[in-house]
Amino acid sequence: MTWIDNRDQIDTSGGWLRRQGTRPRVRRQITVDPVYTVAEVAQIFHVTRKTVYKWLAEEDGDAVIPPEGWYKLPGSHYIRIYAWALAPLQQG
């Protein structure tokens, strides 16, 4: 059995030990919309949680926060509200 010496193929530039011809991994940045709990929304707008629940309830299709602007966590009754759904409320 013979020993194969590959030390001449190693590139240590940049402080990282890697073989020539390989590219470093590119990290993809994932953007996630911020979400708020009902209590956080109530605190932001200085109202009660009961008021926020009323904003979520649809009455004749006129919900203050649209149905696509919030979701329930699977397996629980906890609600999360997207920040983009709150933007129209903050503007007035």
Report the alpha-carbon distance of residue 25 to residue 46 in Å, rounded: 46
Beta bridge partners of 11: 18
What percent of the chain is modeled with pLDDT above 90? 43
> What confidence tier does 59 reach under pLDDT thresholds 50, 70, 90?
confident
Pairing mode, strands 79-82 and 35-37? antiparallel
CA distance readout (Å), 89 to 16, 32, 35, 40, 66: 50, 21, 15, 14, 11
Position 23 pLDDT exceeds 80? no
Please state whether the predicted TM-score (pTM) of the whole model is above 0.75.
Answer: no
Angle, CA 41 vertex, CA 89 and CA 48 arms, to 5°: 100
Position 15 pLDDT exceeds 60? no
pLDDT number for residue 74: 93
Position 7 pLDDT exceeds 70? no
